[in-house]
Amino acid sequence: MIEVRTLVEGIRAGNRAQVSRAITLVESSRPDHREAARELLAELSGLDKLDHRDRLDHRDRLDHRDRLEHRGRSVRVGISGVPGVGKSTFIEGLGTSLTAAGHRVGVLAVDPSSVRTGGSVLGDKTRMAKLGVDPNAYIRPSPSAGTLGGVARATTQAMLVLEAAGYDVVLVETVGVGQSEITVAGMVDTFLFLTLARTGDQLQGIKKGILEIADVIAVNKADGDREQEARAAARELAGALRLVHGAGERAPEVVTCSALTGVGVDEVWSRVLAHREHLGVDGIDAKRAAQQLDFMWALVRDELDQRLRRSPGVSAIRAEIRAAVLSGELAAPAAADRIIEAFDA
């Protein structure tokens, strides 16, 4: 039996074991775990004290807002980049710099879950050895469970747990190979894209749309013989982005850094804070409110997907439909209609 109250107390006390248990709970797809996770997050947010049917006057709303004071105080940053760009080295350098400055840093790495086993395939604690033993840092792989809905549900709720535990900076790392970047960009305040000189990322990134959603861009590995090349790439990229975004729109800032030496990493962080300042308190509140609405629909889609998989009616015809589609006897649209009909029935 899951003692939600014990978890809540442990999280608020900053107990790492309880934080880990809570994140495991919110990542689980078991129906009883999902119910417990909803109760946990409601208590952490203070919403357990509020009946949604109640009408609140102005003073009640202010009191309720005060109870939610701990929510939304962290700096949420998504970090992505092509494989080999040095994301883990960068995050470790940035994270250790932030903890040295008095921050508590949580790192969630969105792992591509194994299709066969459901397990995560990255090893972020081994790639961030120094940050992994920092008492003011917490690193956690956040498996996608094979679906973007899984990313949204697991990672968003894990962020809420970390914030309730007092982590004032939450970094969400993606593997940089697909649609998960768009999903992660929709759950953070600032999206940071790491790139390299001479990789073609300038144009390919814009073509794929990743650079179009970036708020800050850093050309990494700007050290030694590569420094001038990185600076030239940053200038080229900044010019391309100004064309993409147009005169009336704020283009992402482009800077250079070396995660290996630490040079420029603080400058990248200052640009992240500058982006937050540009948004302002109202802008961040509005952005997070819109993200919550998107998250709601992501949860709805994820839950419907789970119910479809558990449906006895669908299970009864699954093998038959699969065989008919593979043999060419049944077209995919007709097969989909039959599955929906079985689900509805």
Indicate the range of 1-10, 179-188, 221-230 predicted with least confidence: 179-188
Could you report the per-residue pLDDT of 61-88, keeping only the tens digit for each?
444 444 334 444 799 999 988 778 889 8
- pLDDT given for residue 144 in this prediction: 53
At residue 319, what is the residue type?
A
Sign of CA dihedral 105, 43, 41, 188: negative
Categorize the per-residue pLDDT at 316 as very low, low, confident or very high, splitting at 50, 70 and 90. very high
Can you tell me the distance from the alpha carbon of 128 to that of 117, in angstroms, rounded to the nearest whole number? Answer: 25
- Report the C-alpha dihedral over residues 160, 282, 276, 67, rounded to 10 degrees: -30
Categorize the per-residue pLDDT at 205 as very low, low, confident or very high, splitting at 50, 70 and 90. low
CATH number of 75-291: 3.40.50.300
Could you report the per-residue pLDDT of 145-172, keeping only the tens digit for each?
544 555 667 888 999 999 999 999 999 9
| Mean pLDDT, residues 233-237 taken together | 87
| Mean pLDDT, residues 309-335 taken together | 95
Q: Identify which of 14, 4, 10 has the alpha carbon closest to the alpha carbon of residue 165.
A: 14
% of the chain residues with pLDDT over 90: 46
Topology of domain 4-68, per CATH?
1.20.5
Residues of the chain with CATH 3.40.50.300: 75-291
Q: Please, which residues bridge with residue 108 across strands?
A: 140, 172
| Mean pLDDT, residues 35-45 taken together | 89
The answer for residues whose C-beta is within 8 angstroms of residue 10's C-beta and 6 or more apart is 17, 18, 19, 21, 22
| Mean pLDDT, residues 228-257 taken together | 83
DSSP 8-state class, residue 68: T
Residues of the chain with CATH 1.20.5.170: 4-68
Could you report the per-residue pLDDT of 98-148, keeping only the tens digit for each?
999 999 999 998 765 443 444 444 445 557 888 989 999 999 986 555 445
- pLDDT given for residue 138 in this prediction: 95
What is 86-113 written as a DSSP string? -HHHHHHHHHHHHHHTT--EEEEEEE--
Categorize the per-residue pLDDT at 46 as very low, low, confident or very high, splitting at 50, 70 and 90. confident
The widest CA-to-CA distance across the chain, in whole angstroms, is: 67
- pLDDT given for residue 57 in this prediction: 52
Tokens (6 digits) for 38: 């909803």
Enclosing H/E stretch for 253 = strand 253-256
What is 14-66 written as a DSSP string? T-HHHHHHHHHHHH---HHHHHHHHHHHHHHHTGGG--TTPPP-HHHHHHHHH
Can you tell me the distance from the alpha carbon of 214 to that of 137, in angstroms, rounded to the nearest whole number? Answer: 25
